[in-house]
């Protein structure tokens, strides 16, 4: 069978009933049901431009990394909740189909992305105090994630969901899309993770420099290993500035 035929034949039946909510370059995201629950299904589809064996290996690795990082965050969440702290919220992984490269995740219902939330607060010129509390929370969660040596790899405000209904002092944030994540204890990797967020944050939300500084302050106060990470962040920022001057 030609590679494209085998691709068509392999569309899993559960995806036929699910509704696609995002078509990305690497994966498609669907909303569907699984054992009676509302779920998000992330399907990594084959890349026809790659050799099938290489593609299979890479796709499998990405799926494994995503699941591993989510589980690591969730394990830390369980531990910290025993200590009455809010941990790193990430969706429950219900099921992984390694044949079709589909991950079935908890659907975080009644949530909005932090991106949409900040945009609407800024558009309505609502109380900026609320955004400061949110920035504190983001800094705290990322500090905990990095202390677990999880590097997200694609930190943006679209990859953080804010569960509505939570009180201002009790904001519930859920991190999603660990597709580019990996495990590393290196301060450089954590610094780059924050740099990616800084770039995305400031370009998506203009005039939020102070807010981002507040996020970093909260990160610094919450992480046990922040000084080496912030030092690396400063180095990466400097390299970025030099590169843009040359370019």
- Note the residues at the interface with ligand AMP (CB under 6 A): 21-22, 24, 29, 40, 42, 91, 105-108, 111, 113, 158-159, 176-177
193 is catalytic: no
Which CB atom, from 21 or from 185, has the smaller least distance to ligand AMP? 21
Set 5, 154, 168, 193: catalytic member: 154
In whole angstroms, how close is the CB of 1 to ligand AMP at the nearest point? Answer: 30
Are 105 and 92 in contact, with CB atoms under 8 Å apart?
yes
In whole angstroms, how close is the CB of 173 to ligand AMP at the nearest point? Answer: 12
In whole angstroms, how close is the CB of 142 to ligand AMP at the nearest point? Answer: 17
Decide the pairing of beta strands 19-23 and 27-34.
Answer: antiparallel
Which CB atom, from 24 or from 240, has the smaller least distance to ligand AMP? 24
Which CB atom, from 93 or from 121, has the smaller least distance to ligand AMP? 93
DSSP string of 11-34, one letter each residue:
--HHHHSSEEEEE-SSEEEEEEEE
| Nearest alpha carbon to residue 4 among 45, 43, 57 | 45
- Cβ neighbors of 27 (< 8 A, separation 6 or more) are 42, 43, 44, 45, 179
Which CB atom, from 21 or from 54, has the smaller least distance to ligand AMP? 21
What whole-number distance in Å separates Cα of residue 242 and Cα of residue 247? Answer: 9
Opening angle at CA 198, ends 196 and 204, nearest 5: 100
Residues marked as catalytic: 154
């Amino acid at each position: 069978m030609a590679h494209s035929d085998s691709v068509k034949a392999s569309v899993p039946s559960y995806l036929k009933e699910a509704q696609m909510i995002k078509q990305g370059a690497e994966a498609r995201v669907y909303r569907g049901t699984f054992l009676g629950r509302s779920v998000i299904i992330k399907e990594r589809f084959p890349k026809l431009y790659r050799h099938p064996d290489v593609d299979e290996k890479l796709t499998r690795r990405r799926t494994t990394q995503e699941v591993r990082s989510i589980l690591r965050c969730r394990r830390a969440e369980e531990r910290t909740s025993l200590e009455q702290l809010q941990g790193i919220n990430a969706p429950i992984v219900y099921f992984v189909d390694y044949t079709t490269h589909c991950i079935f995740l908890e659907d975080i219902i009644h949530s909005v992305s932090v991106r949409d939330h900040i945009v609407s607060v800024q558009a309505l010129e609502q109380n900026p105090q609320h955004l400061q509390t949110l920035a504190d929370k983001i800094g705290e969660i990322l500090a905990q994630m990095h202390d677990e040596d999880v590097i997200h790899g694609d930190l943006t405000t679209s990859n953080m969901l804010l569960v509505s209904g939570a009180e201002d002092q009790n904001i519930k944030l859920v991190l999603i899309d660990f597709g580019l994540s990996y495990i590393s204890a290196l301060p450089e990797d954590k610094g780059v993770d924050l740099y990616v967020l800084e770039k995305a944050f400031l370009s998506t939300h203009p005039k939020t420099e102070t807010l981002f500084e507040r996020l970093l302050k909260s990160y610094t106060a919450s992480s046990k290993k922040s000084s080496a990470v912030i030092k690396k962040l400063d180095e990466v920022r400097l390299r970025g500035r030099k590169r843009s001057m040359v370019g």
